Homo-oligomer: A and B are copies of this chain.
Amino acid sequence: MSHEIRIDKTKSPKAKPDQSNLGFGKYFTDHMFIMDYTEGTGWHDARIVPYGPLELDPATAALHYGQAIFEGMKAYNTQDGRILLFRPHKNMQRINVTNARMCIPQIDEDFFVDAVKALVNIDRDWIPASQGTSLYIRPFIFATDAVLGVHPSNTYKFIVILSPVGAYYSTGINPVKIYVENSYVRAVKGGTGFAKTCGNYAASLKAQAEAAEKGYIQVLWLDGVEKKYVEEVGSMNVFFKINGEVITPSLEGSILPGITRDSTIHLLKSMGIKVTERRIAIQEVFDAHKAGLLEEAFGTGTAAVISPIGELNWNGTGIIVNNGCTGELSSHIYDTITGIQSGELPDTFNWTVEVK
């Protein structure tokens, strides 16, 4: 499959936001990439056009039945003036895994990496330069049939929008308080937990809101069957360092296969640290803490990269991890991944892709 990308540049570029106060996903660049899918024709009409509103029929399937998926990735300005993407093919591969689960047609992964590159290149002046900032890239696909029957849509839109984002932690990485969720369930094996589909995120809002009211920044999800095994933290994967070994829940269908998770595992292995993917019970984490063996805990994700866990509360029992401080390993992984992403460290794993 090969496509031409039609380019229609904006005639009225927007003012760029203050780089010191970007926040996350609040500002959008001058252009967006759009491509349509029609059953029989396939993906067609690839174009980069001025960022602006979509005209959608009120019966648009995605608004009613949630057949919609997304990805999240970032572009970085390096100090020597290059623009780097971080493992973009992994995102496009995951789109196809998600699409298969959600009955959305497959995409041409190479072409869509090229499309992202073309879009980022056009809006390259929007990539912020200050420490910790980046250009967040949001590819998403949604069902556009304007019919109310519950069935896979015959038409879709693939859109990529770009948002300059600030450092996730304005004062460097800081440990967060996490509430172990016992009532609400994020996902269960046989469901859509491994897919990056919109419904997973809507389902998580209530638990998140209730934890926030109790003073916790995120929830730690337990499995939906036994409420026993650790799944994710908020919308991040989670790692525990116990007695020198790093353990992360194995991917068994209910957990998102995070790209930062994968990068972290590679990095740990290259450091000679034992890393194990397996089911881990929350009781085991608490027992390890009691025995003085829980050394660090952290979440991994595209937005925050590494988010150290300073406190865990489960059924009213709170434990403080690593005296509430960011662990040495958490810091090292954060520094290494962000260093590779921003071109400050050598790309020993061949993870970055330059936008030219």
Residues of chain A at the chain B interface (Cβ within 8 Å): 23-26, 28, 32, 51, 53-59, 62-68, 70, 101-103, 136, 138, 140, 142, 146-152, 159, 161, 163, 183-192, 197-206, 208-209, 224-225, 227, 235
A-B complex: 7 closest residue pairs judged by Cβ atoms: A199-B199, A25-B148, A66-B198, A185-B190, A66-B202, A65-B201, A53-B55
Residues A59 and B28 in contact in the complex (CB < 8 Å), given A70-B64, A205-B103: yes
Q: Within 8 Å CB of A59, what residues of B? A: 25, 28, 138, 161, 163
Closest to A225 in B: B225
Whole-angstrom CA separation of A136 from B59 in the bound complex: 13
Whole-angstrom CA separation of A338 from B190 in the bound complex: 36
Closest to A191 in B: B185
Whole-angstrom CA separation of A136 from B64 in the bound complex: 14
Whole-angstrom CA separation of A136 from B225 in the bound complex: 37
A233 to chain B, nearest CB (A): 13
Whole-angstrom CA separation of A109 from B147 in the bound complex: 26
Q: Determine whether the beta carbon of A209 is less than 8 Å from that of B68.
A: no
A226 to chain B, nearest CB (A): 8
Q: Determine whether the beta carbon of B62 is less than 8 Å from that of A208.
A: no
Q: Determine whether the beta carbon of B151 is less than 8 Å from that of A208.
A: yes
| Cβ contacts A to B, 12 pairs, < 8 Å | A24-B149, A26-B149, A28-B146, A58-B159, A64-B140, A66-B201, A101-B206, A102-B205, A152-B205, A188-B188, A190-B227, A197-B199
Assembly stoichiometry (copies): 2
Q: Within 8 Å CB of A197, what residues of B? A: 66, 199, 202-203
A256 to chain B, nearest CB (A): 13
Besides A32-B58, A197-B199, 7 other A-B contacts (C-beta < 8 A): A25-B148, A64-B201, A66-B197, A66-B202, A68-B202, A151-B205, A188-B188
Closest to A224 in B: B188
Residues A26 and B147 in contact in the complex (CB < 8 Å), given A102-B206, A202-B199: yes
Q: Within 8 Å CB of A56, what residues of B? A: 53-54, 56
A123 to chain B, nearest CB (A): 14
Closest to A202 in B: B66
Partner of A224, one of B26, B54, B225, B227: B225
Q: Select the residue from A147, A188, A203, A225 with max chain B CB neighbours within 10 A.
A: A203
Residues A54 and B55 in contact in the complex (CB < 8 Å), given A150-B201, A184-B190, A190-B184: yes
Q: Determine whether the beta carbon of B202 is less than 8 Å from that of A65.
A: yes
A18 to chain B, nearest CB (A): 17
Q: Determine whether the beta carbon of A209 is less than 8 Å from that of B103.
A: yes
Whole-angstrom CA separation of A51 from B146 in the bound complex: 13
Q: Determine whether the beta carbon of B235 is less than 8 Å from that of A150.
A: yes
Q: Within 8 Å CB of A206, what residues of B? A: 101-103
Partner of A188, one of B152, B161, B191, B205: B191
Q: Within 8 Å CB of A189, what residues of B? A: 185, 224
Q: Within 8 Å CB of A51, what residues of B? A: 58
A52 to chain B, nearest CB (A): 8
Residues A68 and B66 in contact in the complex (CB < 8 Å), given A57-B53, A188-B185: yes
Closest to A70 in B: B64
Q: Within 8 Å CB of A142, what residues of B? A: 63
Residues A63 and B68 in contact in the complex (CB < 8 Å), given A138-B148, A152-B205: yes
